[in-house]
Chains A and B, each alone.
Chain A
Amino acid sequence: MNSKIKTASGFLLIVAVITLILLIPLLPVKMDRAIDIATINNVESDYALLYFGYPGCDSACPITLSVFNQVYSNYPKDSLGKSLAVLFVDLLPNSSWEKADQYAKSFNPEFTALALTSEEMRTATLQFGLKFGEPDIDGQLNHKGYTYLLHKQAGVWKIRLVFTDGPPEAAELIDHLKALDL
C-alpha cells in the first residue's frame, strides 16, 4: 500500500512539473532587452505600449487595443512628466501602412501604426518572440497577442515587460508604467 502511495506521489510530482511547463509560457516576462529596429527607435516618447496585430483582426487585437485606449486615456502624462506612445505593427505581409494606421487610429487618434520592412520584421520576430501563421482565406491571421511595454533610455527603446497571457487590465498596465518611473 505504502509503495502504491509512494508511486502515486511520484507521478503527482511529475504531473506538477508538467503543469508548470505548460503554465510558464503564460507568465509575464520582465526584461531589459534593447530593440535594434530603426522604425521603432525613431519613435519619440518616454514609454510605449507595443502590439503586433493586423487590421481586420476580430479576436485579440480589438480587445488589446481597447485596453490600450483606456490606458492612454487614463495615463497621467502631466503629473508624471513622461510621454506615452501606443504603437501598432501590422503583421500582414502585404498590407499598407495607411490601412494599419487607420485601424489603430480607429481606437484612438493618438495611436501610431508602424510599417516595418521585411528585414525589420525578421528581427522583430526574433527580438519580440513573435508567433504568427499565414493568413487564411478570410484574411484572418493566427498570432500571439503579446503586449510589450517599452521604455526609451538614452535614445534606445528597451523591452521592459511582456504580457504573454493576453492583455492585462488597464489599471494594471498603468501601475506597471508608474513603477517603471520609480
Chain B
Amino acid sequence: MILRSLSKDSFKANLNNFFHVNDAGLSEHARLKLERDFIKADKTALLILVVYWLVLATLGGGRHGYFLLGYIGGGLALGFGLLGYAFFRGTYINRILVGVTGCLVEVIYIQQELGTPTSHLVYFMSLGVLLVYRDGFAAVSSLAMVMTHHLTATFCEAASIEIMGMPILAFNWGRWDAYVTHLYWAILMAVLLCFVTYNGMKEFLTNETLLEDMENINKELEDLVAERSASLMQTTTDIKSIFANLSEGIFTITQENKIDPEYSSALERILETQEISGQKAVNLLFKDSNLELDVVQGVDLAIEYCLGKSKTEFDEHQHYFVNECRKTSLSHRKNLEFTWTPIADKSRTLNNEYRVNKILVRVADVTELKALQTKENRKQKDLSIFFQLLLVKPADFFSFLELSEKMLAENKQLIEQSQENYLLYLCDNFRAMGFKSVELGFSYLKDLTYEFVDEYEALVPHPEKKIEQKELIRKIERIDELLHDYLRVSQERLGWNQHLQDNRQHIPMSLNNIEEIMSLIETMDNDDINQMQMILSHIHTVFASSLKTSLISTDE
C-alpha cells in the first residue's frame, strides 16, 4: 500500500518535472532559478524562431518567387510569440505557445513550398530548438499539434469529408500507412525529446539540491568557523591574561630552538630583560649561572635532539634538563627552578608516536622560597638540638663542650703544624668526640665527626696523597660551628649557662614525656573544663615523676 502510494507520488513528481506546472516541493532558491531558466529559455527560443522565420521565409521566397506570405505570415506568427513572451514568459502557457508558433512558421513555409516532402523535414529542426526548455511542454505541444493535425486530416480523408467542395488530404502518398509512418517518427522524436528534457530537468533539480546542500554545509562551516574563531579569540584572550598575570615565567622553545614570541610577562621580571623572543633558551636561562659549561651544553644538545622526536625519547633525555640553577648576573642572586614539558602535535614519528614540536618551560624564582627553606631547616635543626639537649644533664653537656673545644683547638693546631701522622691524631680526636656524641645522643655532631673520620682515616696510610688544607679547615670549622649551635640552643632555649655550674634547676625529661604533654595540649578542648582539669592533673603527674627521677639521679 505504502509502495503504491510512494510510486504514485513519485509518478506525480516525475510528471510535474516533465510538465512543470507547479513549484510544489521546490525550495525558494530552486523555484526562482527555474523560473529564471524558463524565462531565459523563452527568450532564446523566441530569438531562434525569429531567425528560423527569416531563414525559411527567405528560402521559400528566394526559391519560388517574391511573394510575402513567408514574411507576413511568419511575422504574424512571431507576433503571437512576442505577445506570449510579454505576458506569459516563464509559464507553461508560453512554452505551449512557442511550440505551436514554431509549427505555424513551419506550416507557412510548407505552404510556400506547396507541401513538398522536403519542406516537412525542417520541422524537425524546429523541434530541436525546443530543447532549450527543461520541461516537455513546448516539444510535446508541437508534436501533439502536428500529429493531431495529421490524424484529423487522415480521418477526414478516409471519411471523404470535404470543405467548400475541396476534399481533405493529409499526405500525397498513402493514408493510414503514411500516418503510421509519421506517427512512428513523431513518437520516436517525442521519446527522445522527453528523455533529453526529463534528464535535463532531473539534472537541474539534482544540481540544485546539491547546491543547496553545499550552501547549507558552507553556512554551517562558516558558523562553525565563526564559533571556533570566537572560542579561539576567547581562549587567546584568556591565555594572554593568564600569561600577563602568572607569577612564573612560561615560554615555549620552537623547532628552531628559539624562544617563542608568546611568553608570560613574569619571565621579563624574573630574568630582568625584555630581549627574550627569538633567543636561545640556554643562553637566556643559564648565562652567568652556577652551572658548568658542559651541563649547559648538555641541555642545549638535549633540546636540539628532542625537538621533532617522540615523547618517549624526550623522557629518556629528561635528565639532561636541569631543574634549578643560581644566577648571579641579575640585580641580586636568584635561585631559579625549571620544569621542562614536551608539547606534541598531531603528526607522528616512525614509531607512530606523537612528535614533540615544542618544549614548554616553566621558570620560577625560588630565591625567597629557598631562603625560607633554609630558615625552616635551621629551625628544625634547632628544635632537634633542643630535644637532644633536653635528654641530657647540663653538666654533662658542658663537660662534653669543654672536651670538644679542647679537641677542636688541638686539631686546628695539628693542622697548622702539619706534623707526621697529624691526620691520625685528628681522626682519633674526632672519633672520641663522635663517640661522646653518641653517648649523649647528639646526632648531628655524631654524623659530622664520623663523616670526617670516615673520609680522612682512609688517607692515613697514604701520607703521599695531598690533602687540601683549606677543605680540611673548612670541615673542622663546620664541626666547630655545629658545636656552637648546640651551645647556642642550650643558652637561648634552655637558659643553660656554661659558667654557672649549678644547673640543677634544669631537669632532663624523657622524649616520650615531652611528646605526651604536647599531644595532650594540642588535642585539648578549650570549652571542656573537666577535660582541661584532667589534662593539667596528668601533666602535673608527669612533671612530678621527672623531678623525682632527676633527684634520685643527682643523689647517685
Contacts and interface: CB of A to CB of B under 8 A. Distances in A.
Contacts of B170: 131
A160 to B, nearest CB: 8
B93 A7 contact: yes
Interface string B137-170: 0000000010001000000010010101111011
B91 interface: yes
A67 to B, nearest CB: 11
A180 interface: no
A60 interface: yes
Contacts of B73: 24, 27
A131 to B, nearest CB: 4
A10 B104 contact: no
Contacts of B112: 29, 31
Contacts of A166: 164-166
B104 A21 contact: yes
A162 interface: yes
Contact of A63 (B91, B116, B165): B165
Contacts of A127: 114, 116
Contacts of B108: 24
Nearest to B167: A142
Given A20-B104, A32-B65, A59 B167 contact: yes
Contact of B172 (A16, A20, A125, A164): A125
Contact of A17 (B63, B65, B69, B101): B101
A10 B64 contact: no
Where chain B touches its partner, the secondary structure class is helix
Given A31-B67, A32-B65, A17 B80 contact: yes
A166 B166 CA distance: 5
B96 A14 contact: yes
Interface residues of B, number: 46
Nearest to A144: B169
A163 to B, nearest CB: 10
A40 to B, nearest CB: 15
Contacts of A145: 165-167
B69 A30 contact: yes
A97 interface: no
A98 interface: no
B149 A131 contact: no
B65, B83, B91, B149 pick with most chain A CB within 10 angstroms:
B65
B157 A20 contact: no
A24 B112 CA distance: 10
Given A29-B114, A165-B164, A166-B164, A22 B88 contact: no
Nearest to B119: A129
A17 B167 contact: no
B76 interface: yes
Nearest to A28: B69
A27 B111 contact: yes
Nearest to A162: B114
A55 B35 CA distance: 61
A172 to B, nearest CB: 14
B103 interface: yes
B76, B100, B103, B166 pick with most chain A CB within 10 angstroms:
B166
A115 B274 CA distance: 121
Nearest to B117: A126
Contacts of A25: 107, 111, 115
A82 B449 CA distance: 164
Contacts of B88: 6, 10, 13
A175 to B, nearest CB: 17
Given A32-B64, A129-B115, A142 B84 contact: no
B104 A24 contact: yes
B437 interface: no
A33 B115 CA distance: 14
Contact of A32 (B66, B115, B160): B66
Interface string A87-128: 000000000000000000000000000000000000001111
A125 B113 CA distance: 12
Nearest to B160: A142
B126 to A, nearest CB: 13
Contacts of A32: 64-67
B456 interface: no
27 contacts: A6-B87, A13-B80, A14-B96, A14-B100, A17-B100, A18-B100, A21-B100, A24-B104, A24-B107, A25-B111, A30-B69, A31-B114, A32-B64, A32-B65, A33-B63, A59-B162, A59-B165, A127-B116, A130-B172, A131-B115, A131-B171, A131-B172, A133-B157, A142-B157, A142-B167, A164-B111, A165-B166
Given A17-B97, A32-B65, 9 more contacts: A17-B80, A22-B149, A24-B104, A30-B69, A59-B167, A129-B116, A133-B175, A142-B160, A160-B65
